[in-house]
Amino acid sequence: MLIVTAKLSRRKLALWGAAVVGLLCCALLLGSHHGQPALSVESAPVNPKGIKTDADRVRFLSDYGWQVSAEPPAVEELLVPNEFDDSYREYLALQSQQGFDLTACAGKRIKRYTYQIVNYPTGETDVRVNLLIHKNTVVGGEVLSSKLDGFLHGLSMPDQ
């Protein structure tokens, strides 16, 4: 038979008890996620605020899995229309699916930063990504092919 004794103050006993409870909580949380897939880049929330510099924009895009060219992006200032006609319906729906509300910028000036994507999953070249930014916040964006029969989709990496 083995008997172990220890002399602990109440404070040390409370600290050890809190540590054991914390470890048990962590074990329960990890156990409850067992067998569930991890969050994909598509479902992981990407913070659109605080995007001030080129490095911030590149980091924002990398959170979606994109690698973009190191050369400076094209930058254009755009005026968002006060009212959106039917020609904007699909574009606004695309932005809405990504969690962006471009209608909140109606009548305001925004900047569009355009980067070349160098890691498009199909290996296709001449693919660009646009970020629409108002007051250091991403308010929209899309990935597009500049080819005549090209494509346009949201910022999330497409399935291969």
Q: What is the overall mean pLDDT for the chain?
A: 77
Each residue's pLDDT tens digit, 124-154: 889 999 999 999 999 999 999 988 888 999 9
Do residues 41 and 156 lie in contact, with contact meaning Cβ atoms separated by under 8 Å?
yes
Higher pLDDT, 39 or 93: 93
**Average pLDDT rounded to a whole number, residues 92-112:** 94
Rounded distance between C-alpha atoms, residue 104 and residue 112, angstroms = 16
Token output for 138: 């991403």
Token output for 125: 């070249």
CA atoms within 13 A on the CB side of 8: 11
pLDDT for position 112: 96
Token output for 105: 């910028």
Each residue's pLDDT tens digit, 59-90: 999 999 999 987 778 899 999 999 989 989 99
How do the domains of the chain map onto residue ranges? 54-153
pLDDT for position 50: 81
Q: Band of the pLDDT at 49, cuts 50, 70, 90?
A: confident
